Amino acid sequence: MTDPAATLLRTAAELDAHTPAVTAGSTAGAPRARPERAAVMTMGALHEGHASLIRAARAAVGPAGQVVVTVFVNPLQFGEAADLERYPRTLDADLALVGAAGGDVVFAPSADEVYPGGEPQVRISAGPMGERLEGASRPGHFDGMLTVVAKLLHLTRPDLAFYGQKDAQQLALIRRMVRDLNFPVEIVGVETAREPDGLALSSRNRFLDAYERHTALALSRALFAARDRLAAQQALHARALAGGSSGDRAAGLTRLGEARLAADAQAVARARPDGGPAAVRAAARAVLDDAAAEQPPLDLDYVALVDPADFTEIPDDRTAGDAVLAVAARVGTTRLIDNIPLTFGATT
């Protein structure tokens, strides 16, 4: 027996008719015992990464709640008409995936439904954060993204809205918009879903041929290499804290001719608690530089270690705190992004 497809709704009026009823015994303004509606916003061409968001939304609202998945290819987010036309549309498959993952409703409005009268004259500005990294590579992209997210939040009226960590800058901007403009919704980030070989799940992956996909794996390898470099440095620092004077031990081992053990002890003695932002960047860039010599080559757009609050670059003297290591590159004609969260200063 197959899972039923989700219910397809095309207009705001239809969506209003499917709004969950007020829980019996509740009163206006009283806190809810459990969220009633969760939203997952997509541009369609759904894959397992979207399914993970839908499952997280279902777990949050429970069997009695409602999970609404929006499918809307937003023209404001595309710089060129050709890119908009190229974007894959797979609505029938999307309906089946949403149903199988636990979603109730797919809201797939037309452009006229979302933007009656044409492109909106008033839009939401992403501000300085929207001009960095992805914003610098795709001018106006984040203004268009926030404008449609704001409209869809108004139309769907969820208690919770779920977004993937893969689009980390997008997630940070949505959180900032919701906070700054007092949207009555909680934004939930969900860990990036990956293929077994590490490639971040994306609707764009379908455009890669076998050779391009091999090259594209450098993005995740670079992130994992940086993560491992940070973990190794922090493990060495923890040993230094636990082992007393590693410098004295290294000197003694050198006198005894045990050069390899001495080098290890010196590494422990020199280990920084933060792992060194410069070392993290270098570990990632080494992998990406190698991929630039592959056939086909990886054409790097950026690799950046940034503060997740505002996406400004983290200085090399940072000793503690959270960070996002983000990378973007083209392989052939396909542009891919990926990122990984890191924490500096951890010693356990």
Q: Among all residues, which ones are annotated catalytic?
A: 50
- The C-alpha atoms of residue 279 and residue 270 are separated, in whole angstroms, by 13
Tokens of 198: 């590490």
Residue type, 303: V
CA proximity to 203, closest of 83, 79, 36: 83
- The C-alpha atoms of residue 149 and residue 177 are separated, in whole angstroms, by 10
- The C-alpha atoms of residue 98 and residue 106 are separated, in whole angstroms, by 8
Cα atoms found within 13 Å of the Cα of residue 213, Cβ hemisphere only: 14
Number of neighbouring beta carbons within 10 Å of residue 166: 21
Bridge partners of 40? Answer: 69, 162
90 burial via Cβ count (<10 Å: 0-12, 13-18, 19+): middle
**Buried b vs exposed e over 299-315: b needs ≥16 C-beta within 10 Å?**
ebbebbbbbbeebeebe
- The C-alpha atoms of residue 202 and residue 339 are separated, in whole angstroms, by 13
CA proximity to 96, closest of 162, 9, 18, 3: 3
Three-class DSSP category at 41: strand
Cα Rg for the chain, rounded, in angstroms? 24
Three-class DSSP category at 37: strand
Three-class DSSP category at 217: helix
Instruction: Collect all residues with Cβ–Cβ distance below 8 Å to 3 and sequence separation of at least 6.
Output: 96, 99, 100
